[in-house]
Amino acid sequence: MGRLLILGLVCAMTAPLVHARAIPDPAQRHAPGNEALQKPIAQAGYSVGVNYQLQCAGCHLGNGMGSAANDTPRMAGFVGNFLKVPGGREFLVRVPGMSQSALDNAQLADLLNWLIRADGMAGKSTPADYQPYSADEVAELRAETMLNLPGTRAGLIQQMRAQGIAIEDGMNN
């Protein structure tokens, strides 16, 4: 009982010190080189590859392999298959990570086109008749929110199966 009382007193006495460290110092200055505000990503002028790293790689990984453990499908060698079924083109724009990204419509169109290139992330899954996305198309598609991502994706995967497309997205569908 005595130890518990002492432990309680120690906690009560140190709590203000812990909270004091969480309060920002109003006199603190930016680190050298960080004095200017960061530009919004849509104005930063990053390359498409950098935009992929900033907007997609956190979940799909730098190589596009995704992670079934984190419920993130593989894009590498597979993402182009979405363009082979009705609704798949729209799906790729409306995926929350795309539609809600900080990229403007032209940057998002460039990123999607970069992903779908046969020598890019989509690889052999790129359809032969692929038509690149435009900024106007992305703006139009982005305006409509996808309300059921898992259900929409499952329907597209079912259509792919019906066409005989091998589902190699790492998700054990």
Domain spans in the chain, listed from the N-terminal domain onward: 46-162
In this structure, whether the domain defined by 46-162 belongs to CATH 1.10.10.10 is answered with no
**The whole model's pTM is what?**
0.76
Q: Give the three-state DSSP class for 72.
A: strand
The b/e string for 20-32 (b: 16+ C-beta within 10 A; e otherwise) is eeeeeeeeeeeee
Q: What is the Cα Rg of the chain in Å?
A: 23
Q: Which residues, listed in sequence order, are joined to residue 67 by a DSSP beta bridge? A: 72
Q: Write out pLDDT tens, residues 17-29.
A: 555 556 777 787 7
Average pLDDT in the chain: 86
Q: Are 116 and 78 in contact (CB under 8 A)?
A: no
Q: What is the pLDDT of residue 159?
A: 95
Mean pLDDT of 51-77: 87
Q: What is the pLDDT of residue 14?
A: 65
- Number of CB atoms found within 10 A of residue 52's CB: 20
- Number of CB atoms found within 10 A of residue 46's CB: 17
Q: Angle of helix 48-55 relative to helix 105-116, nearest 10 degrees?
A: 90
Q: Write out pLDDT tens, residues 113-148.
A: 999 998 888 999 999 999 999 999 999 999 998 889
Q: What is the pLDDT of residue 106?
A: 95
Alpha carbon separation from 78 to 43, 124, 167 (Å, rounded): 30, 8, 8
